[in-house]
């Protein structure tokens, strides 16, 4: 239990790297825990709406996946895209899995995390979309404070559009309503 509490504390006290790289002070920068919580709520909203539209997915699994998606960062920190691209997705997944095992060695949860990391299900795509949506929403909040994040917002919106090509049009419509 001490490991998970320590992990939660680390996530609450670790500012997301991308914001600081864009000149946003750590004093107002979103932390990993608040980002993960927003991703979980967006994931819940999207998956419940999708289920009502007749799309087969498991909202409870989506929320668990969303809560786990950045958990390894309590050990690794918030790794910037340059480092992620340098080590490759396979090595990144391996390191994140090892970090997750140190904190939360529950096989069922490790399996759900692996499913997310491999983007091997509709549930994992909902979480990935929610992750990007949360970042877009936060970037828009910072833009209102005077930070120039238009290019970042545009790039993320393009990534969302590519992801939407992989999902049912009913789900895509729900996501577009949030954008």
79-119 pLDDT tens trace? 666 666 677 777 767 777 777 777 777 788 889 998 998 99
- Please tell me the least confidently modeled range out of 18-32, 51-65, 78-92: 78-92
Q: Which residue has the higher pLDDT, 101 or 12?
A: 12
The total number of structural domains that make up the chain: 1
pTM check: above 0.95: no
Distance CA 33, CA 37 (A): 6
User: In percent, how much of the chain has pLDDT > 90?
Assistant: 69
> What's the CATH code of the domain at 173?
1.10.3210.10
**Average pLDDT, whole number, for the chain?**
91
Q: Given this model, what pLDDT does residue 81 score? A: 64
- Token look-up 């699994």 returns 61
Domain containing 166: what range?
A: 2-178
Work out the number of other CB atoms within 10 angstroms of the CB of residue 114.
15
Asked if pLDDT for residue 138 goes beyond 90, the answer is yes
The band of 76, judged by pLDDT with boundaries at 50, 70 and 90, is confident
């Amino acid at each position: 239990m001490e490991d998970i509490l320590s992990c939660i504390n680390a996530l609450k006290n670790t500012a997301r790297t991308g914001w600081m790289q864009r000149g946003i002070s750590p004093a107002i920068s979103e932390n990993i825990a608040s980002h993960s919580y927003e991703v979980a709520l967006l994931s819940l909203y999207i998956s419940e709406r999708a289920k009502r539209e007749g799309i087969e997915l498991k909202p409870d699994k989506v929320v668990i996946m969303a809560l786990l998606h950045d958990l390894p960062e309590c050990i690794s920190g918030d790794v910037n895209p340059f480092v992620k691209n340098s080590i490759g997705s396979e090595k990144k997944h391996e390191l994140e899995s090892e970090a997750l095992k140190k904190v939360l060695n529950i096989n069922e949860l490790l399996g759900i995390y692996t499913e997310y990391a491999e983007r091997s299900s509709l549930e994992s795509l909902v979480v990935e979309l929610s992750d990007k949506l949360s970042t877009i929403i936060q970037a828009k909040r910072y833009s209102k404070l005077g930070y120039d994040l238009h290019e970042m917002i545009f790039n993320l919106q393009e990534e969302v559009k590519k992801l939407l090509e992989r999902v049912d049009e009913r789900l895509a419509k729900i996501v577009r309503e949030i954008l």
